[in-house]
Amino acid sequence: MSAADSSVAHPEHDRSSLSRESLKRAFLDHLLYTQGKSLEIASKNDLYQSLAHTVRDRLVRSWFDTSATHQKRNARTVAYLSAEFLMGPYLGNNLLSLGISHEIRLAMSELGLDLDELLRQEEEPGLGNGGLGRLAACFIDSLATLEVPAIGYGIRYEYGIFYQTIMDGWQVENTDAWLRYGNPWEIQHAEWAVQVKLGGHTEQYTDDSGRFRVRWVPEKTVAGVPFDSPIPGYRVDTTNTLRLWRAEATEAFDFHTFNRGDYLGAVNKKVTSENLTKVLYPNDESVQGKELRLEQQYFFVSCSLQDMLRLQQHRGQPVTSFHKSFAIQLNDTHPSIGVAELMRLLIDEHLVPWDRAWDITRQTFSYTNHTLLPEALERWPLELFRRVLPRHLEIIFEINARFLNEARIHFFGDETRIARLSLIDESGERYVRMAHLACVGSHAINGVADLHSELLKRDLLKDFYAMWPDKFTSMTNGVTPRRWVALSNPRMGKLVTRCIGDGWIKDWSRIREIEPYADDAAFAAEWRAIKRANKIDLASLLLRKTGIKVDPDSMFDVQVKRIHEYKRQHLSALHIAALYHRVKSQRNLDITPRTFIFGGKAAPGYMRAKLMIKLITAIGDVINHDPDVRDRIKVVFIPNFSVTVGQCVYPAAELSEQISLAGKEASGTGNMKFAMNGALTIGTMDGANIEIRDEVGEDVFFLFGLTAEEVYALRREGYRPMDFLRRDGELHAVIELIRSGFFSRGDSALFAPLIDDLLNHDPYMLLADYDSYAACHSRVDQAYRDTQAWTRMSILNTARSGKFSSDRAIGEYCDRIWKARAVPVEKR
Ligand code: CR6
């Protein structure tokens, strides 16, 4: 059974206007008039495009009514500013929202077409790196479903996150030309294009009324063109907008160069302008201070703010009430230049006095921090910043001067603290600190899980917390139950709906109502059968993508997420190698057969992470081919983990590996997707794992490892990884095995950088946590043998995952930060 069959799970309204005949007619019309093909000669892409257009047509009316209602009501609108939106494929989700998947399936089959095949045709827009971009996508889904007026603003990258293949066990990157065959979900609005300035210098002048002003004389101007996609709420009349900006050369600019007779020069500059939105930076949790990246950030933020000011005017509202119309959320510091840009627009272009402008700005913005890792904190070398945004640097200096005055009164005499708080890092080469700009310019600051928010207050942002404790709050992340359960796990959806009705799709807290079924033998048997069917689906995907055959009756133990040392995929690798070592040393050892499934991308320049992939595949290669193992252990690395692949993985997982070093993973969201789909977690006290464990109960969670407090204490005492390596222990043997080149055809140098680092520094404390991890896995092994008890835990786990819906998270943001509410759409 496939994703689109979720129709069976959620009985759909029989809307006469959407009758099969009219759907078929619309589809064939699009095939002919949009694609220029007949059924006989159409390619698969033609068929997909025609279907997508047919479905989009059915969203346009409510899309239109939504913006008309929001304008008429002058409703407070949430603007979610994010450099990444990892949307996943649209077609299935839009069918689900509209409630027409069943009708469409039948219509297609009457034309001799298979809906599942058409669904597979869609290239997902990979406009994000991982959790942060996917969170933005879940959030705009929830905003629409909760009928809150909202716009997602971002960048229309021509190339999204790279396509990963695995060659000889190594990651190889390929470009992601997702727009190659066209994007049927977007509508370009050239009429709303805006101009964005870059570079140059500033000049002072006196205006007509004798007032001192500043003019920015840019080096170049780029046009920003919006591309809109509809974001339908689930079975409501609200269809919000995702507005992504593409950079284009401005005519004025071309004209200038052109007039000098330099045609090729003009064309070349055009290409340069368009480079701005060419490609997504593929780094997750690290930044390199590249000029183009700052330009990208400024470009989309300026476009979005200008767009909001246009809407404000269109609504007949004065700029001075901007903060009443818009609540802007900064998704990490990537859009934080918005604070200075809104100030510039208000004071330079709309002639609002500084104090008033500052008031508006602060009431408009709020900031979400997504990481404590120092290498992920954005700061720009001052000179680079001045080169790209000379006017903004002046504004930032002014904001800083005023802010530090306030801080000096607050922290009288404490100049070291003042230096720490400053928007400018002056400890060596000078930098602009973007997180500080975001903190100063926002009225609310939040972390993404309770532990993370506490650590922000205690550590990273402690000086800001001391100054403005009331600004700080915690908003635990969430994920949308539409995509992550209803769409990707239709079998489970159908069973749940049969027992408790379909209210859970819009209100995931109601999943609690399946708790009593944990002790119902018939329900449990079905639950197991569903998991098995999902495992068979995943097994066939694995076979197709890797050629590796896995046993659907083995335990599916999964770790899918970006590859990073702090996430410790290599801890898992060590444990797998240890299991192998055990099986080899005791031939008839009785262990629970397991399939270890990994997936995730490494940043292309992150050599250690790439080596971690090689370590996993190398260990897998040996184990998968060793007849002694007799299928008791399999290791598979799924290439190109993406939203699409995730939709197949989460529903099939039985054990979810969430094993980051405590204090490092801000929240995690994959952990929530697994939990909702009935996979038990083996995890550390990190990020949202802690809250998952609180919710599901400690006997439904496999806990191991140091707590964040213990990590700090151990570091203070002086952590010596070697102290944790007993000479006679299993871990020692495993490390020696890897070091000897056993998994690398005798190449003992290959993994040396990883292993030496573990033995000498081990910044993520794998050795400290190893014993506890291995022991915990033995408990998992035992628990899995009792099928009934395991199933019971799996059901309870799902039943108690109600908190982790993005609807809950968005409800909290609306109440506590945005002061935004639902505005039902009036139909025309
Ligand atoms: N990498 C965090 O690391 C969190 C998401 C969304 C991350 C992760 O724990 O769940 O954000 N941080 O809040 C950043 O991207 C900076 C992530 O996805």
Give the model's confidence band at 4: pLDDT under 50 very low, under 70 low, under 90 confident, else very high: very low
Q: What pLDDT is recorded for position 255?
A: 65
Dump strand ranges (E) for 369-471: 379-381, 424-425, 431-433, 444-447
Distance, CA 392 to ligand 1 centroid (Å)? 28
- Closest ligand 1 atom to Cα of 368: 13
**If pLDDT is split at 50, 70 and 90, which confidence band does 5 have?**
very low
Reported as a pLDDT band with limits 50, 70 and 90, residue 307 is very high
Q: Of 381, 377, 436, give the one whose Cα is nearest residue 407.
A: 436
Q: Which of 667, 674, 810, 813 best tests ligand 1's pocket when mutated (most atoms within 8 Å of CB)? A: 667
The reply to whether ligand 1 has any atom less than 6 angstroms from the CB of 347 is no
Of 110, 141, 100, 90, the C-alpha closest to 6 is: 100
Ligand 1 centre and the CA of 371: distance in Å?
A: 6
pLDDT single digits (tens) 522-542? 999 999 999 999 999 999 999
Q: Is residue 675 in contact with ligand 1, taking CB distance under 6 Å?
A: no
pLDDT per residue over 254-303, tens digit each? 666 667 778 787 778 788 889 999 999 999 888 888 999 999 999 999 99
Q: Which of 156, 506, 561, 594 is catalytic?
A: 561
pLDDT, tens digit (0-9, with 9 covering 90-100), for 399-410 = 999 999 999 999
Measured by CA distance, the residue closest to atom 11 of ligand 1 is 132
Least confident of 186-190, 272-276, 708-712, 794-798: 272-276
What pLDDT, on a 0 to 100 scale, did the predictor assign at position 259?
A: 72
Confidence of residue 6 (pLDDT cuts 50, 70, 90): very low
Token pair listed for 222: 């780029």
In the predicted model, what is the mean pLDDT of residues 479-486?
98
Instruction: Give one DSSP letter per residue of 55-79, joined into a string.
Output: HHHHHHHHHHHHHHHHHHHT--EEE
Read off the tokens for 723.
């102290």
**Above 80 in pLDDT, residue 10?**
no
For 113-154, how does the pLDDT look when each residue is reduced to its tens digit (9 = 90+)? 999 999 999 999 999 999 999 999 999 999 999 999 999 999
Summarize pLDDT for 771-797 with one digit per residue, the tens. Answer: 999 999 999 999 999 999 999 999 999
Cβ-based neighbour number of residue 115 at 10 Å: 24
CB contact at 8 A, 730 and 580: no
Largest interatomic CA distance in the chain: 92
Residue 258 vs residues 248, 266, 276, 736: alpha-carbon distances, Å:
16, 6, 21, 67
pLDDT at 285: 83
Q: Enumerate long-range contacts of 519-527, CB under 8 Å, 24 or more apart.
A: 519/792, 523/495, 523/499, 523/795, 524/788, 524/791, 524/792, 524/795, 526/495, 527/492, 527/495, 527/678, 527/791, 527/794, 527/795
Q: Is the CB–ligand 1 distance for residue 766 below 6 Å?
A: no
Q: Is the shortest distance between the CB of 376 and ligand 1 below 6 Å? A: yes
Q: Give the atom of ligand 1 at the shortest distance from the alpha carbon of 376.
A: 16
Residue 474 belongs to what H/E stretch?
A: strand 472-474
Query: What pLDDT shows up at residue 251?
Result: 72
Residue closest to 773 by CA, chosen among 502, 571, 565, 515: 571
pLDDT at 2: 45
Q: By CB neighbour count within 10 A (0-12 exposed, 13-18 middle, 19+ buried), where does 682 fall?
A: buried
| Ligand 1 contact via 7 beta carbon (within 6 Å) | no
Index of the ligand 1 atom closest to the CA of residue 133: 18
Atom of ligand 1 nearest to the CA of 668: 10
Ligand 1 contact via 666 beta carbon (within 6 Å): yes
Asked if pLDDT for residue 8 goes beyond 80, the answer is no
Q: Counting atoms of ligand 1 from 1, which one is nearest the CA of 452? A: 9
Ligand 1 midpoint to CA 141 (Å): 18
pLDDT for 18 equals 55
* Known catalytic residue at 610: no
Q: Of all protein residues, whose CA lies closest to atom 18 belonging to ligand 1? A: 131
Q: Which of 53, 156, 334, 370 is catalytic?
A: 370
The per-residue pLDDT for 810 is: 99
pLDDT at 233: 98
Backbone angles phi, psi at 249, to 5 degrees: -70, 145
Write phi, then psi, for 613 (nearest 5 degrees). -60, -45
Nearest CA to ligand 1 atom 10: 668
135 lines ligand 1 (CB under 6 A): yes
pLDDT at 769: 98
- CB contact set of 235 (below 8 Å; sequence gap of 6+): 97, 99, 506
Nearest to 781 by CA among 620, 562, 555, 505: 555
3-state SS, residue 412? coil
Which residue is closest in CA terms to ligand 1's atom 12? Answer: 370
562 is catalytic: yes
The pLDDT, as a whole number, for residue 258 is 67
ipTM of the complex: 0.98
Residues 782/670, Cβ–Cβ less than 8 Å: no
Closest residue by Cα to residue 810 from 141, 327, 234, 66: 141
Whether 270 is catalytic: no
What are the structure tokens assigned to 736, written together? 């020696």
* Strand-pair category, 655-658 with 680-683: parallel
Mean pLDDT for 691-712 is 98
On the question of pLDDT at 219 being above 90, the answer is yes
Q: Which domains are assigned to the chain?
A: 74-89+124-476+812-818 (3.40.50.2000), 488-804 (3.40.50.2000)
Task: Give the N- to C-terminal CA distance of the chain in Å, as an integer.
Answer: 38
**Catalytic annotation, pick one of 250, 669, 791, 798:** 669
Q: Does residue 31 surpass a pLDDT of 70?
A: yes
Residue 634: what are its φ and ψ, rounded to 5°? -130, 145
Question: Amino acid letter at 482?
Answer: R
| Gap from CA of 727 to ligand 1 centroid (Å) | 37
Strands 431-433 and 424-425: antiparallel
Check if the beta carbon of residue 765 is closer than 8 Å to that of residue 759.
Answer: no
Percent of the chain with pLDDT over 70: 97
C-beta neighbour count of 413 within 10 angstroms:
7
Residue 370 Cβ inside 6 Å of ligand 1? The answer reads yes
Tell me: the pLDDT tens digits for 553-608? 999 999 999 999 999 999 999 999 999 999 999 988 999 999 999 999 999 999 99
Lowest mean pLDDT among 10-19, 81-90, 498-507, 695-704: 10-19
Is pTM beyond 0.95? Reply is yes
Residue 668 Cα to ligand 1 midpoint, Å, equals: 6
**Which pLDDT tens digit goes with each residue over 739-762?**
999 999 999 999 999 999 999 999
Q: For residue 370, indicate whether it is catalytic.
A: yes
Distance 232 CA to ligand 1 centre (A): 25
Instruction: Tell me: pLDDT of 13 over 50.
Output: no
**Mutation pick for ligand 1 pocket among 448, 560, 561, 684 (CB with most ligand atoms within 8 Å):** 448
